[in-house]
Amino acid sequence: DKTRARVEAMQSYLQTAISIDWDQVNQARPQWNARWSRSIER
């Protein structure tokens, strides 16, 4: 069954998925933006 195979594949992917801590990302974002501006955006 095609649907069953897709569900099993998705379950496998979800077992190794990494959850992003957006609070931590947002806390560091100003420093990352400043670094980007200095290094890349010149």
Mean pLDDT of 5-27: 96
Torsion of CA 15, 20, 21, 25, to 10 degrees: 160
Residue 2 has pLDDT above 90, yes or no: yes
C-alpha 42/C-alpha 39 separation (Å) is 7
The domain ranges of the chain are 2-41
Mean pLDDT of 11-39: 96
pLDDT tens-place string over residues 29-41:
999 999 999 999 7
pTM metric for this prediction: 0.53
